Chain A
């Protein structure tokens, strides 16, 4: 026939043409690579991650090496006699090379940001998806937990816990992870609620799919976009919280080169040697900006699909 149809066994016309659209995966990829924020933020984040991994190789000095004779050398762009290319970002009050400390500090920020995001993500997603899928009493309980958590001031609780239990890196990660899951729970709950009422979930139930299969195979792939966006927000959140905790002296302990700690240690020299807080502050800013741009980009790239 002119339209290229053939008859099947039951005498039905076979429709040979499809709508010329890319598959969901292809469409996402195409959009990603043309979105400025996504590419820019992603690139910077990758650069910082690379920095963190290669820290031992590319740091010009040992970040813990104190050389009091060389203390408080300004960075290379200052107009000062002591400036030297040996220490392009200068040295701190203990004579430690700032560039090396900055590079090693990225490890701490990224490690804490990533781990806390993972822990809070697992907790929050589990609670949110359960609330959204089962509704009823489960939803009530989860809502109560979320409300309780939202009424707690995160910084104060973190401070209290850390001052009681101690403040190793592991403890800071766990404290943050156990405190910032609320946005995951709220967003995953509402997204799951939207998806849960769609016909393909009912079809899966009618096929006899078990609840775990429905949640992981039917629902999760359709909410994972929102999950990624929240993950980037919370990673940035965790990094800022760690910096704040360290600044207050109850995060990572010296001599670790956490950027927050570097700001804390430099605050007394703020008026005369402002780079001590300016440099780690700028680094934090760039990292958070990159993560947020990436998150916005992911949201833009996947949002129109979600609306479908």
Chain B
């Protein structure tokens, strides 16, 4: 019995970008037809590099940006129909930079209890106590309630951000690179904390990350994004055991594990990085693909069901490319 807590269908978000002094505006499809479903308790990882649209998608899932096309639903109800405050109580963000995600002029305590204030939570006398309980839950001593962000380390600030996100008991938390800006020794603390809290509070996570080692550790499902589309989506074990899309393979190859006996791998991607305003024709990945075929530049691939998920690649298209699959 699947409990789909958040879903997106054919979601597109287009920005009009000026293409030059006298040339008017061109459309930039930051997110270009994305569909996904997240079940309760899942940790869906959105993986991709700059320009793939993951941050834009996150903003849409948070309800901060409306899709240009398509619908995003929360427990079956379109997000556009859900009232602003109610949505805030259902889905909350954790941002990447602990130095810009906290208002430097407000105390830690007032930052953490702000959601209660805004929601008009009925018992103001309990706010402080609940704030302190939340702080304890994320590993911050309650006596820091009146301190300011500049007095805390990066890891501590990220804990404040987590406390703020969870105090209104949301169902879904969208983590945008939650540990990328932190030191290695702090990253593991925060990752462990996120895992613990997910179990304790029965949360569902959507994690945006470019760090595939972290993804492999905490995600249950992985969606690989490239230029606004999901090019491969699978359960985490399947994806890491047998990545099928050539871009996924290149990404996985780029993960540098601390093994001194190995060298830096050659991902064979070439230096031609695409411009999102002028995406390549057909399959947008074709100029960089090691396994490109003739028709890849003409026809965009559809999502082909594979192994519990899908991959958008002509290599797996039953009508074409079957013969090349073996390589």
Contacts and interface: CB of A to CB of B under 8 A. Distances in A.
Interface stretch (B189-197, B270-278, B286-294): B189-197
B64 A10 contact: no
A69 interface: no
Interface of A: 8-16, 18-24, 198-200, 202-209, 213, 218, 221-222, 305, 308
Interface stretch (B22-30, B135-143, B213-221, B244-252): B135-143
Contact of B84 (A18, A21, A208): A208
Nearest to B139: A12
27 contacts: A8-B137, A10-B200, A14-B136, A14-B139, A15-B153, A19-B152, A23-B147, A23-B150, A199-B101, A202-B64, A202-B93, A203-B101, A203-B161, A203-B164, A206-B88, A206-B91, A207-B88, A207-B114, A207-B115, A208-B89, A209-B118, A221-B103, A221-B105, A221-B106, A222-B104, A222-B105, A305-B104
Nearest to B164: A203
B103 A15 contact: no
The interface centre, meaning the residue of A21, A23, A204, A206 with most chain B CB atoms within 10 A of its CB, is A206
Contacts of A21: 150-151
A200 B103 contact: yes
Interface string B94-112: 0111011111111000000
Interface in B145-160: 147-148, 150-153, 155-156, 159
The interface centre, meaning the residue of B93, B105, B189, B192 with most chain A CB atoms within 10 A of its CB, is B105
Q: Which 7 A-B pairs have the closest CB atoms?
A: A208-B88, A199-B101, A12-B139, A221-B105, A10-B196, A199-B95, A208-B85
Contacts of B92: 206-207
Nearest to A201: B103
B136 A203 contact: no
B62 interface: yes
A203 B93 contact: yes
Contacts, number: 116
Interface of B: 59, 62-64, 84-85, 87-89, 91-93, 95-97, 99-106, 114-115, 118-119, 136-141, 144, 147-148, 150-153, 155-156, 159, 161, 164, 168, 189, 192-193, 196-197, 200
B35 to A, nearest CB: 23
Contacts of B88: 206-208
A221 B107 CA distance: 12
A13 B114 CA distance: 25
Nearest to A208: B88
A19 B153 contact: yes
B147 A9 contact: no
Contacts of B136: 8-9, 14
Given A19-B151, A24-B104, A199-B97, A205 B144 contact: no
A170 B118 CA distance: 42
Nearest to A11: B196
Given A206-B62, A206-B64, A308 B104 contact: yes
A308 B150 contact: yes
Contacts of A11: 196
Nearest to B119: A208
Given A12-B193, A207-B115, A221-B105, A18 B152 contact: yes
A176 B152 CA distance: 46
B118 A200 contact: no
B81 to A, nearest CB: 16
A176 B21 CA distance: 38
Given A23-B147, A199-B97, A200-B102, A15 B155 contact: yes
Contact of B144 (A13, A18, A221): A18
The interface centre, meaning the residue of A12, A205, A213, A305 with most chain B CB atoms within 10 A of its CB, is A12
The interface centre, meaning the residue of A11, A202, A204, A221 with most chain B CB atoms within 10 A of its CB, is A202
